[in-house]
Amino acid sequence: MNFRVEECAETTDRVRLVPVEMRGFTFEGSVADGDRVRASGRMRSGTLRVKKLHNLTTGADVSAKQTSKIACAFVIVFFVALAVFAFVMAHQHA
């Protein structure tokens, strides 16, 4: 999910647009145009990368959910086993 937020300084009227990126397969919560949010994360190549933020307008927490490492490992093991099986079957019939 990519969006931009306006960073407002209390001491001046200057506004800075900050690109924000949340990476994940699913997201919980929502953000709409005009919502006030509080977010923190790491700046990478001029983009603020966040894992979660707080929607001050609605009071909701918004978060990006990643796949579990166990599920990824299972998928990798499955495909390796499938490739080994296909290799063995091909050499038995040759």
| Annotated domain spans of the chain | 2-66
pLDDT digits (tens, 9 = 90+) for 29-45: 888 888 999 988 999 99
Burial code (b: 16+ CB inside 10 Å, e: under 16) for 57-68 equals eeebebbbeeee
Return the higher-pLDDT residue of 10 and 5: 5
What is the DSSP code string of 21-88?
E---SEEES---TT--EEE--EEETTEEE-SEEEETTT--EEEEEPPPHHHHHHHHHHHHHHHHHHHH
The pTM (predicted TM-score) of the whole model is: 0.61
Q: Give residue 72's pLDDT band: very low, low, confident or very high (50, 70, 90).
A: confident
Residue 59 has pLDDT above 70, yes or no: yes
